[in-house]
Amino acid sequence: MLATPGALLAQTPTQPQTALPQNPPQGPEAELNAAREQRQRNAELLAKVALPMATEPASYFKA
């Protein structure tokens, strides 16, 4: 199972399609920066999807 590029996948990590640094980040600060970079990559991928303005989120509140 492979994720789209740069994705973090909860519960069962995937093998990414794009090349990633072979060595894991060293130290908590580096890990946090790596997680932030991943978050940013995810945001950039989401930004590329053109959405009709009328598209609503897939969850609803009911009174």
Partner 1 sequence: MASIPDDIFFASISEITGKLREKAFSNVELIRAFTARMEHLGPRYNALALLLPQRAHKAAKLVDDDLKRERYRSNLQGIPFGAKDLLSVAGEVTAWGAAPYAGQVFDESATVIKKLEKAAAILTSKLAMVELAGGPSYRFASASATGPGLNPWDRTRWSGGSSSGSGIAVAAGLVTFALGSETSGSILTPSAFCGCTGLRPTYGLVSRYGAMALSWTMDKIGPICRSTDDCGIVLQAIAGADPNDPSSAGKTFYNAPQYTRDIQSIRVGFAPVDFDEWAEPSARPDFAKALTLIRQMGVQVTEAKLPDLPYGAMTGTIIAAEAASIFEPLIAGGKVEQLADKRQIAGLKAGLEIPAKDYLKAMRIRSLVQQAFRDLLADTDILLAPTRLGPAPKISEPLDRPASDRPRPKDPGLTTLIPAGNLAGLPALSLPCGFADGMPIGIQLVGRPFSENVLLKIGREFQNRTDFHKRRPPA
Q: How far is the CB of 7 from partner 1 (least distance, A)?
A: 2
Q: How far is the CB of 54 from partner 1 (least distance, A)?
A: 10
- CA-CA distance, 35 to 46, in Å (whole number)? 17
Q: Residue 55, interface with partner 1 (CB under 8 A)?
A: yes
Q: Residue 60, interface with partner 1 (CB under 8 A)?
A: no
Q: Residues with Cβ < 8 Å from 8, sequence gap 6 or more? A: 35, 38, 42
- CA-CA distance, 13 to 56, in Å (whole number)? 29
Residue list 4-43, contact with partner 1 (CB under 8 A)? 4-17, 20, 22, 24-25, 28, 31-32, 34-36, 38-39, 41-43
